[in-house]
Amino acid sequence: MITRRTLLVSGTAAALAVAARPAVAAPGSEDDRLRNLLQRHAELFVIRSPEEATGLGLDVGSRQFLRERLDDRSIQARERDLAAVREARTALRAIDRARLSAPAALDFDVAAFVYDVLGDQLGRYGYVDSNLRPSPYVANQMNGAYYWLPDFIGSRHPLETPADVNAYFARLEALGTAIDQETARIRLDASRGVTLPGFINAKTVAQLTRLRDGPPSESALIRPAAERAAARGLGDLTGRATDLFRTAVAPALTRQIDALLEQRPAAVDTAGVWRLPEGEAYYRSALRSNTTASIDPSELHRRGLDQFESLASRLDVLLAGQGLASGSVSDRIKALNQDARYRVSSDDAGRERLIAAARAHIAEVSRRLPQAFGTIPDRPVIVRRMPLTIEDSSPGAFYNPGAPGGPGIYSLNLKRPEDLSLWRLPTLTHHESIPGHHFQHSVLKEAAELSLFRQLVRFSAYTEGWALYAEQVAGELGVYDDNPIGRIGLLQSQIFRAARIVVDTGIHHERWTREQAVGWMVDRAGEPRVASEREIDRYCVYPGQACSFMVGANQIVEMREGARSRMGSRFDVRDFHDLVLTSGPLPMEVLGGAVGAWSGA
């Protein structure tokens, strides 16, 4: 999964048109009017989202002041965002789409989708991030200022000059304000009947407490920053940073803990959003945001079940080919998970073995890339253990782009290294790094012709759909030709994503309990119970997001094979992949239109 992660900026930063006003029509073509409008919207968004400005390397020159600020997460900022998006949508409607060129019409369609989704989501409770991934809960075990900002401030904030050091201290102190702003929104949503399920509340409070009570100097907020500053001769940050943590951040964490503990006595363990105000409508909206398609939840549930059964039949054949013919597919997957040949030790030596293996998989697939890609960026990715404070509730791995100008970061959840089987690691690595998220992000960074607006917008179905599709591409490149167990891992990854559709729609539409969902993942998909519980808890707070992987990947495969059929011998998969990646993130229907135009549909 790509983190929210490409700077998950909750609440206020979701609005790409923050503070936008209907623009005065610029002289020239309709393309010029649209280009100027979207550029203005994007520039205003960057000013209102200092975190995004840093992530894109835009906090320089006249925007240098943004480097010492964090996003405004207040109730009032969210209200301003909603008003701004509505105004932006009105301005967009003043553009005559029929008079646009094909590339400009694509930008128009992207903007129309973004503004429609944000206009809907910002009028609801919870938050929506810049990838259009909504959650009904402002802070939970996988989101909130306390969750994302420590790594951002400690590892991604630039530290090159003494001014950067001062900006670091300013952001560290501002973290307390950001947490308090979210606490106010937690209380507001609670007054509307929106509270965390009890089991999520307990996890969230535990993580908040761990951050508050752990040694500040060892936290993700301070240690990485201190190491980077020392390496650049900028002095020792630890003392002042520790003081700021204790005076500004820790008290805010206590206030957020208290707000959540107040909800604990009345908390229920019902997992689905259907229990919340207008919960069924919320889920339909969340599915559209995440999949960029209008899909009925019942129909999607059925599709997920059908694809799961089809993949299970294929997996059965592969397992039998390796002498694993007895028992259900799930039982045989569980046996593979416990097979000593593919398990590492539960210690630092085991962790290092996994990291080394992941690096080797990256090197192997990288040398094969010219077979399938014309554009191949030369940008490294590092493999590391994810921050210890978030391991308990994080997925098995995630990717973030790293600091501007630096390598991408592929983080593995190594709290229990014995749970990450070596037969699964290649596919996980291809998903998160190359040719998945890291490769995807790196190609986009080199697409200089992409407007600022288009660089800012992101869609889970495109982003996660590509990464899941990239797993298949790695297999097509031959990385499993001499590794049949690894190929089983590839198919198991696909069946896992089909299972995600089943359990996500099961929880939020079919009204499954948390235990039903966990049991389905364990009994049918062969997933370890601890990992399944962590996954299901993720789906509980990000309704619909788990569906984006397989929905997006299926659509990319359909586009590719459709183009191959239309073009015949003229089809070159390298051109197809370059088109998909250099086009930048798009709603899948818009991407399908672009592929159709390219292939002569």
Nearest to 40 by CA among 48, 29, 52: 48
Determine the Cα–Cα distance for residues 309 and 306; give it in Å rounded to an integer: 5
On whether residue 580 sits in a domain, the answer given is no
Q: Which of 527, 553, 579 marks a domain boundary?
A: 553
Which string of DSSP letters, residue by residue, matches 247-264?
IIIHHHHHHHHHHHHHHG
Determine the Cα–Cα distance for residues 199 and 368; give it in Å rounded to an integer: 45
What value does the mean pLDDT take over residues 294-298?
93
Mean of all residue pLDDT scores within the chain = 92
Within this chain, do residues 56 and 153 fall inside the same structural domain, yes or no?
A: yes
| pLDDT for the residue 448 | 62
| pLDDT for the residue 393 | 65
Within this chain, do residues 178 and 325 fall inside the same structural domain, yes or no?
A: no
Reported residue count of the chain is 601
What value does the mean pLDDT take over residues 368-386?
95
What value does the mean pLDDT take over residues 311-319?
95
- Strands 127-128 and 134-135 turn out to be antiparallel
Within this chain, do residues 124 and 15 fall inside the same structural domain, yes or no?
A: yes
On whether residue 5 sits in a domain, the answer given is no
On whether residue 587 sits in a domain, the answer given is no
Determine the Cα–Cα distance for residues 496 and 546; give it in Å rounded to an integer: 10
Residue 87 pLDDT > 70: yes
Residues of the chain by 3-state class (helix, strand, coil), percent to 5? 65, 5, 30
Express each pLDDT in 516-528 by its tens digit: 999 999 999 888 8
On whether residue 129 sits in a domain, the answer given is yes
Give the tokens for residue 458: 């992101």
Q: Which of 553, 576, 593 marks a domain boundary?
A: 553
Query: Tell me, what DSSP letter sits at residue 274?
Result: G
On whether residue 563 sits in a domain, the answer given is no
What value does the mean pLDDT take over residues 15-43?
70
Owner of token pair 């609005």 = 15
Within this chain, do residues 316 and 438 fall inside the same structural domain, yes or no?
A: yes
**Helix H or strand E segment including 384:** strand 381-385
Query: Tell me, what DSSP letter sits at residue 213?
Result: H
Residue 593: φ, ψ to 5°: -65, -40
Within this chain, do residues 327 and 259 fall inside the same structural domain, yes or no?
A: no
Which neighbouring-strand residues pair with 128? 134
Q: Which of 67-81, 214-228, 437-451, 537-551 has the lowest mean pLDDT?
A: 437-451
Q: Taking the mean position of all CA atoms in its chain, how far away is CA 127?
A: 14
Mention every residue, 6+ apart, whose C-beta is less than 8 A from residue 73. Answer: 10, 11, 12, 145, 178, 181, 182, 185
Within this chain, do residues 99 and 124 fall inside the same structural domain, yes or no?
A: yes
SS3 state of residue 408:
strand
Within this chain, do residues 313 and 249 fall inside the same structural domain, yes or no?
A: no
Give the tokens for residue 66: 């943004």
240 vs 387, higher pLDDT: 240
Within this chain, do residues 373 and 236 fall inside the same structural domain, yes or no?
A: no
The amino acid occupying position 510 is E
Distances (CA, A) of 410 to 207, 382, 431, 546: 22, 6, 10, 20
Question: Which of 17-21, 52-56, 275-279, 524-528 has the highest average model confidence (pLDDT)?
Answer: 275-279
Determine the Cα–Cα distance for residues 298 and 331; give it in Å rounded to an integer: 28
Which string of DSSP letters, residue by residue, matches 109-139?
HHHHHHHHHHHHHTTSSSEE-TTS-EES-SS
| pLDDT for the residue 7 | 32
| pLDDT for the residue 50 | 96
| pLDDT for the residue 1 | 62
| pLDDT for the residue 446 | 79
Distances (CA, A) of 492 to 100, 256, 431, 538: 44, 39, 13, 20
Within this chain, do residues 493 and 528 fall inside the same structural domain, yes or no?
A: yes
Determine the Cα–Cα distance for residues 351 and 363; give it in Å rounded to an integer: 19
Q: Is 59 exposed, middle or buried (0-12, 13-18, 19+ CB in 10 A)?
A: buried
Q: Which of 438-447, 477-486, 533-542 has the lowest mean pLDDT?
A: 438-447
| pLDDT for the residue 110 | 95
531 vs 93, higher pLDDT: 93
Which neighbouring-strand residues pair with 382? 409
**Helix H or strand E segment including 303:** helix 297-321
Asked if residues 123 and 84 have their Cβ atoms less than 8 Å apart, the reply is no
On whether residue 433 sits in a domain, the answer given is yes
Q: Which value, to the nearest 10 degrees, does the dihedral of the CA atoms of residues 496, 427, 474, 443 take?
A: 100
Q: Which domain holds residue 217?
A: 11-196+198-267
Determine the Cα–Cα distance for residues 28 and 94; give it in Å rounded to an integer: 15
- Structural domains counted in the chain: 2
On whether residue 576 sits in a domain, the answer given is no
Within this chain, do residues 245 and 289 fall inside the same structural domain, yes or no?
A: no
Considering the entire predicted model, what is its pTM?
A: 0.85
| pLDDT for the residue 18 | 38
Give residue 184's pLDDT band: very low, low, confident or very high (50, 70, 90).
very high
Is the peptide bond prior to 395 cis by the omega test (within 30 degrees of 0)? no
Q: Which value, to the nearest 10 degrees, does the dihedral of the CA atoms of residues 244, 247, 250, 254 take?
A: -160
On whether residue 275 sits in a domain, the answer given is no
Give residue 479's pLDDT band: very low, low, confident or very high (50, 70, 90).
very high
